[in-house]
Structure formats: C-alpha cells, structure tokens
C-alpha cells in the first residue's frame, strides 16, 4: 500500500487508505457508478489519522466531509477526464468536459477548506498525443470529457 504524508494533517492515497483499487467517493454497482454515501466513505476512511485525505483513482472532482470532521478530497484529473473500467462491474467515469481539474487546500484558524477548480488547457493536443500512442479512447475523453 502506498500512502504519503504531506503533513501531520494531510494523507495522500490513490484509492483509499486500505486499497489502491477501491474508489473512495464513488461506488460501482451492477447499474454503474454513483456517488458514495457518507457511510460508505466513512467505512473506507477507516481509522486513517488525518484531517484531510487526498485521493484520486476515479478522476472525479469531489469533496466530502465525514461526520467526524475528516475531509476527503478528490482533486480531479488534469489530463484524463473520462474512462471506462470493468471492475468490479463495467462502468463509465465521465467528468462531462475536457477541462483540467485540481484542488487548492487552505487552512485558516485550524480549519481546512478545499476549493475545486477547472481550467482550459490544450486538450486538442492531448487528444492528438493519445491518438499517436494508439489510445483512441483517451483521445475522445480528452476532447469531450466523455467515453
């Protein structure tokens, strides 16, 4: 398991603190992808000791504050706004636009806040690069934010 600490307060994970492959703030069902419930996110957070847990994996920009005050932040994706996966069931992950997404964290008076941002970049060049590398799926995703 790869975990990193940005500070005593901030833990970085790819999926969840216990899994590189599990989504943190989304849940996959036989019907597709949906936003995780607070209870699901709390269970996935487990006993991770951090005020802020930064995650990725889904590329979906989202923030959820748990009942105990821990904040889970997925900053989104800079270059792959959509993809298709088949685990544990076939599903699509789509942001709906080609914009690069990121988050800015700040701490004031002992409280953390996350600002979710999206910006334009040369997604047409990113799409052409994907095509050159044989990734037509990533090319469409780069242009549209859709699979």
Does the pLDDT at position 97 exceed 90? Answer: yes
CATH number at residue 97: 3.60.21.10
> Which DSSP string do the residues of 54-65 spell out, in sequence order?
E--SS---EEEE
pLDDT of residue 72: 98
Q: What is the distance in angstroms between the CA of the first residue and the CA of the last residue of the chain?
A: 29
In this prediction, residue 118 carries a pLDDT of 97
Q: Give tens-digit pLDDT for 66-87.
A: 999 999 999 999 999 999 999 9
Number of domains within the chain: 1
Q: Average pLDDT of 76-102? A: 96
Nearest-10 Cα torsion for 57, 12, 101, 72: 90
Confidence band for 3, pLDDT divided at 50, 70 and 90: confident
Average pLDDT, rounded, for the chain: 96
- Per the structure, the complete domain to which residue 99 belongs is given by 4-144
3-state secondary structure at position 119: strand
pLDDT band at 124 (very low <50, low <70, confident <90, very high): very high
**For the chain, what's the residue count?**
147
Q: What is the mean pLDDT of residues 25-33?
A: 97
Here the tokens at position 29 are: 């069902």
pLDDT above 90 (res 6): no
**Nearest partner of 138 among 87, 93, 81, judged by Cα:** 81
pTM of the model: 0.95
Alpha helices in the chain (DSSP H): 38-45, 123-132, 136-144
How many angstroms separate the most distant Cα atoms in the chain?
49
- In the numeric block, which tokens belong to residue 118? 């999206």
The pLDDT tens digits for 41-70 are: 999 999 999 999 999 999 999 999 999 999
């Amino acid at each position: 398991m790869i975990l990193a600490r940005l500070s005593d307060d901030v833990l970085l994970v790819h999926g969840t603190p216990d899994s590189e492959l599990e989504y943190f703030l989304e849940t996959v069902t036989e019907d597709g992808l949906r936003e995780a419930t607070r209870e699901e996110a709390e269970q996935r957070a487990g006993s991770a000791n951090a005020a802020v847990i930064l995650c990725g994996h889904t590329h979906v920009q989202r923030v959820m504050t748990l009942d105990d005050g821990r904040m889970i932040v997925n900053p989104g994706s800079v270059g792959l706004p959509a993809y298709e996966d088949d685990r544990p069931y076939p599903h699509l992950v789509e942001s709906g636009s080609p914009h690069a997404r990121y988050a800015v964290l700040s701490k004031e008076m002992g409280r953390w806040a996350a600002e979710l941002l999206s910006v334009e970049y040369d997604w047409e060049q990113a799409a052409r690069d994907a095509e050159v590398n044989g990734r037509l799926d990533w090319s469409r995703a780069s242009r549209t934010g859709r699979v």
